[in-house]
Structure 1
Amino acid sequence: MSVAQAFDRGAARYDLMVALNPGYHRELRRAAAALVERTEICRRRGSPSVIDLPSIDIPSNDLSFIDLACGSGASTRALVDAAPPRTAVLGLDASPGMLAQATAKDWPAEVRFDRAVAGTLDVDVIGRGRHDGVLTCYLFRNVAADQRDLAVRETYDLLRPGGWLVVQEYSVAGNPRARRVWDAVCLGVIIPLGILVDRNRDLYRYLWRSVLNFDPVDRFAERLLAAGFTDVAHRTATGWQRGVLHTFVARKPDRST
């Protein structure tokens, strides 16, 4: 079973499962706010706009964001709520089941969804250099390690000069305390709940292992720098997710840099 198929199987009850995770939606809102705040600051400072580029027609006074790995739409909702009116938001995900859950919800006219797989994005169709920001939550650990740099580079290519990437991701490698917390929460709570609520042991065991196998925090920051991003920084979450969940921010340089 592929990763997308595993998420398809769990899509119908995924919102219920994440709602049982204390702090899940709070941290999504913090990540979305970080992206919107940085983007608006850059706009006020007069970062250069993109001109004479084909593809998606975006009014010059409005923002355009991508929610990459939008899932059932929880991160999209956080982004829409944080962004100013008339912001265009494109939610992309590899799982048709998750996209079906997302599209069934009520959205402003500027929000749309489509299927796409990180590492194989058609950047020109989506809009090379056209977007003010990319939010991606819980994506990169689901990308094979040998494709991860390519997937990071795709986000870089989608951004306009001066645009921001915000990544939210679990990472416990190299942190024994965080590893113990993650193991305890997954083995004691998440996987049993997945079996009880969703009868989907495979998905939640996969999610547990995917975090164990993901990059250490410093290694993922290095990937961002290698792709060409600047101003790379990261912080950890609060509550039980401290040291386990991390938010990275990174900026595509202006043309002059």
Structure 2
Amino acid sequence: MTLLRGDALSAAFDRGSAAYDRLVAASPGYHAHLRRSARRLGLAEGGRGLRVLDLGCGTGASTAALLAAAPHARITGVDASAGMLDRAVAKSELAGVAFVHTPVEELADRLRPGSFDAVFAGYLFRNLADPDRTLELVRGLLLPDGRLAVHEYTLGPSPVHRAVWNAVCSVIIQPAGRLAGDADLYRHLRHSVARFDTAPAFAQRLRRAGFAGVRVLPLPGWQTGITHTFVGRAAAEAGRRS
């Protein structure tokens, strides 16, 4: 299968936006895991005085998780899908968030270097044509020593993890997507995970991009070995070189 990229993927998310919240809510632990990953940013004092970027915010599930972890932070949500972003903007609980409609590849044209103390990215990097370039952009948007947390489907090294993912997709995720009229989007979900980095490989990608103190943290439930939180900091030396 050819994965959806760029405008084609944004259009698929536009079409799937109406059913998206309902489908993810049916996934055990989905929202709790996002909240756990957001807490792993370790923002002190509820994020008071901090600027936080929610990269690939979608319908705002990750934004809500950030608000729970850092209610006093100034949060900016960015997404390439107008349909998904419209759903986020319409949620009253996210009224204090600034939302920006732009592909991540164009962030450098919309946001100043060193604009953020922390960046959160949920379910984003496996959807990108060039994740290394995006990591470089993210590092530039962070202040030196700024924090990054990535919440992503990244399979563990055991063949069992891949087998569980494929079984869950075959029996639950893809049938639900077909019923919602979003077969292409959820077929993309399955194969984008299967073709993306394993958890150790993505950790190495972060280190190569100039992030220090990278840790890979597991999540519980059926997602064990399938979904991970990656945390790190923009290395001050790398930030000065850029």
Tell me, yes or no, whether TM beats 0.5: yes
Q: Is the 8 A contact 2:63 2:94 kept in 1?
A: no
Matches of 1:134 and 1:248 in 2, distance apart? 12
Unpaired runs of at least 5, structure 2:
none
Matches of 1:231 and 1:216 in 2, distance apart? 18
Which of residues 44, 48, 65 in structure 2 aligns to 1:78?
A: 65
Which of residues 159, 184, 195 in structure 2 aligns to 1:202?
A: 184
**Per-residue Cα deviation, 1:149-202 (whole angstroms, up to 9, x for no partner):** 101111111111121000011112743111110011111001111122x11111
Amino acid at match of 1:134: V
TM value normalised by structure 2: 0.90
Q: Does 1:186 align with 2:190?
A: no
% same residue = 44
Q: Does 1:241 align with 2:223?
A: yes
- Rg bigger for which structure? 1
Matches of 1:173 and 1:213 in 2, distance apart? 13
Which of residues 2, 10, 29 in structure 1 aligns to 2:35?
A: 29
Instruction: Please state how far the C-alpha of 1:119 moved relative to its aligned partner.
Output: 2.9
Count of aligned positions: 232
Q: Does 1:40 align with 2:44?
A: yes
Q: Is the 8 A contact 1:173 1:213 kept in 2?
A: no
Q: Does 1:115 align with 2:101?
A: yes
Which of residues 111, 117, 121 in structure 2 aligns to 1:126?
A: 111
Which of residues 196, 215, 231 in structure 1 aligns to 2:213?
A: 231
**Per-residue Cα deviation, 1:7-47 (whole angstroms, up to 9, x for no partner):** 11100110000000001001000011111x2x329x9xxxx
Look up the SS of the partner of 2:126 in the other structure. helix
Q: Does 1:99 align with 2:81?
A: no
Instruction: Please state how far the C-alpha of 1:110 moved relative to its aligned partner.
Output: 3.8
Instruction: Please state how far the C-alpha of 1:122 moved relative to its aligned partner.
Output: 1.9
Matches of 1:237 and 1:93 in 2, distance apart? 25
Summarize the Cα distance change of 1:212–1:65 in structure 2 as closer, same or farther, 3 Å threshold. same
Matches of 1:242 and 1:107 in 2, distance apart? 30
Matches of 1:210 and 1:126 in 2, distance apart? 28
CA RMSD of aligned residues (A): 2.0
Which of residues 100, 116, 120 in structure 2 aligns to 1:135?
A: 120
Amino acid at match of 1:130: S
Matches of 1:25 and 1:240 in 2, distance apart? 14
Which of residues 158, 171, 175 in structure 1 aligns to 2:154?
A: 171
